[in-house]
Structure 1
Amino acid sequence: MEASEAMRVNRALNKMSKLYREAKARKLAALGLHPGQDVLLWFLAQEPDGMTVSQLAARLGIEPPTATRSLARLEKGGWFRREPVPSDRRQVRIVVTDAGHELLPDIERAWAELAEEAMGEAGPEQREITLTTLERANDRLRGLVGDEILAEE
């Protein structure tokens, strides 16, 4: 790849990353969430019986202390509750509340709006090419850095 093309790719990806994160932050702020909290709450809601902090951390590819900090920031919203694990009194299970479940359609709507806004007027074929290219780039980069960075989004 020529230097000018490499610069163009780097500039476009860096700019998109920053703009996407900011646009997502604004949409989520309207729901009382920060980026990353949407994904955490969504994953929790997929488990009707809840999950432990360790299970959640493993699912998100983050360390348990990071999950604990994220949950502490989310807790004031009343979107989940902590329940003791009967078989292990040292553990608690995080269970999404009705309020948390009610927030899920809004989260998913924010994701859909952002995807539509980002893709613009691209037709189905152009969207498929774009998504395939981005997914392949993600796979190559994941090979370089691993999965731990994915927990942020």
Structure 2
Amino acid sequence: MYRENKNMNQDAHQTILRGDLYYADLSPVVGSEQGGIRPVLVIQNDVGNKYSPTVIVAAITSRSTKAAIPTHVCIRRMRGGLKQDSTVLAEQIRTIDRNRLKEYIGHLDSGQMAGIEQAMVTSLGLGHLTGNMGQVFLPSYS
């Protein structure tokens, strides 16, 4: 997938996809929230990305001193366009206005997203919805 690096404020209607990496301005923050201009991973579904004025993201840090816990997923530099080894923080999920998105960095492939999805299942306590293959089973309302 190829996309030109753009400032989102210059093209507010740019297509945003699940798995995209952007720099985003996460300030102001309160307490232990991740803040400042930093990489984020878009985790919202593509229908929401197309129609919503907001986007759900997970914060990314390059600090290697973060504890290795089940909600952290390491992404090696150059994967998805990242300039240094980084960690997706699946416990630092937030909804932001799409105007907070700045420069497009790149995109993670489905293999990389699988690990992040498992970390999100752990973070959100959704393990009871998963089967042996890690697939989420949704209840039927028919």
TM-score, length-scaled by structure 1: 0.25
Specify which structure has the higher proportion of helix.
1
Q: Which has the higher strand share?
A: 2
